[in-house]
Structure 1
């Protein structure tokens, strides 16, 4: 049986026509990326280094290319400059998954254009930072399975809706009060009976998960508080920079993927 292809080779072979590989060295390639929007307009030219570190494939701006900040959680750029393309986006890369990685990179770069122009990261491409992202992904799966995905999105994105309204009923331990009452998320068992809160807790209650996501989000920003703000984004928790964009009224629909 043939050995699996090295991740970087799979990435290189799957390179789309908007990305030119300009340098190849063992587990790293250089890429010049000029992503195309649905409208036909082009993104800025991004000069990237893409490398496999033994665990995952990572992309970042090459040294000397300064379109992007070195670190900005609001723009999903990690400390050290690597891009956050999504949960586990760079792991398990092979011939089948490499094209998906390029799709995520394209979306990321187009969102960077929007962030540079408006100081806002598009809401549809947002994901919680750090460990909160894992919790959000789990909550989305569960909420979708019980028909509450829209309510979860409202809670996450605008602190509104029935899930957000129930968060004050969660103890500091992370469990809803009154465990013997019907769960406020509305989950039912196979016979159509409402689950008790203590039963729903064991399965993963979307209300409790949203509470946990917010806790982890606060921890993330507390840990990042000492990092300098790149001053490119509105309403960044690292610093209040709204005054940098006094004449702009950014729309979350400005990117045309």
Structure 2
């Protein structure tokens, strides 16, 4: 049995479908099937047949048949079962509680499908706003905030920051922060503290740059950045391990599900 929220959500989406050129093919209290055409930059039109469903407040959308998109691809933000990963709900989720919200949701679907067409051609995700998978997203969001304070947000968004294990010392294991493959900082993992606080701050501000210990709270922020990236990487790897037995769809050049030939 459908809930009032489910019926209201589907009704709002049905009423606003035409605003993005979606043609409603069928409708019930909890489901919609629509035809939605996406215009390529070349001028070609790609028609998508979409199934939209709202059950117990959970709104999902997927292709009726996997015609243009793979049935599952973490790198293309397509969940197991083919549903689209449109947003990370705690930060940028859309609650369909108004006509304007329904319009925003449809616009998000259109933008997602445009990115999918570009991804299929480029064989990589075309923008820098893709979320990490599963619970890793919350640590990615935290890392973005810390990186922004240090002037490293672009590096993080472009995949240029990575944490690797270093050696052991007086305070246990050190974690190394790599920027484009080069170490820029080490942090003691157990005490979450920069190994050498008298080194120039990684924010690069000042001429000459200040030592980290003298550069506001940047030493503490840097240690939080490293901890967040490390946790994000761990959870991302655990997510991929859950699908280790799944075959890669082969549509992306880089994918953790690929096996060596």
| TM-score between the two structures when normalised by the length of structure 1 | 0.73
Q: Does the aligned pair in 1 maintain the 2:189–2:227 contact within 8 Å?
A: no
SS at match of 1:210: helix
Distance in 2, matches of 1:32 and 1:133, equals: 31
Deviations 1:10-56 (A, max 9, x none): 2222222322222111111111111235x583441110011112233
**Partner of residue 80, structure 2:** 79
Number of residues paired by the alignment?
Answer: 230
Structure 1: tracts of 5 or more residues without a match: 244-257
Whether 1:35 aligns to 2:38 is yes
Distance in 1, matches of 2:9 and 2:95, equals: 8
Larger RCO (CA within 8 A; separation ≥ 6): 1
Q: Does the aligned pair in 2 maintain the 1:57–1:93 contact within 8 Å?
A: no
Shift in alpha-carbon separation, 1:164–1:25, aligned structure 2, 3 A: farther
Point out the structure with max Rg over C-alpha: 2
More strand by share: 2
SS at match of 2:128: helix
Q: Does the aligned pair in 2 maintain the 1:151–1:163 contact within 8 Å?
A: no
Distance in 2, matches of 1:55 and 1:215, equals: 30
Whether 1:138 aligns to 2:145 is no
Deviations 1:217-248 (A, max 9, x none): 2112222211122222212211158x9xxxxx
| TM-score between the two structures when normalised by the length of structure 2 | 0.72
SS at match of 1:165: strand
**Partner of residue 9, structure 2:** 7
Q: What pairs up with 1:232-247 in 2 under 5 angstroms?
A: 232-240=251-259
Q: What pairs up with 1:153-192 in 2 under 5 angstroms?
A: 153-154=157-158, 156-157=159-160, 161=179, 165-166=183-184, 169-173=186-190, 175-178=192-195
Q: Does the aligned pair in 1 maintain the 2:78–2:84 contact within 8 Å?
A: yes
SS at match of 2:25: strand
Shift in alpha-carbon separation, 1:76–1:183, aligned structure 2, 3 A: farther
SS at match of 2:46: coil
Distance in 2, matches of 1:193 and 1:58, equals: 47
Q: What pairs up with 1:198-217 in 2 under 5 angstroms?
A: 199-200=220-221, 205-217=224-236
Q: Does the aligned pair in 1 maintain the 2:74–2:133 contact within 8 Å?
A: yes
Query: Aligned-pair distance for 1:117?
Result: 2.6
| Higher mean C-alpha displacement, 50-59 vs 169-178 | 169-178
CA RMSD of aligned residues (A): 3.5
Distance in 1, matches of 2:247 and 2:197, equals: 47
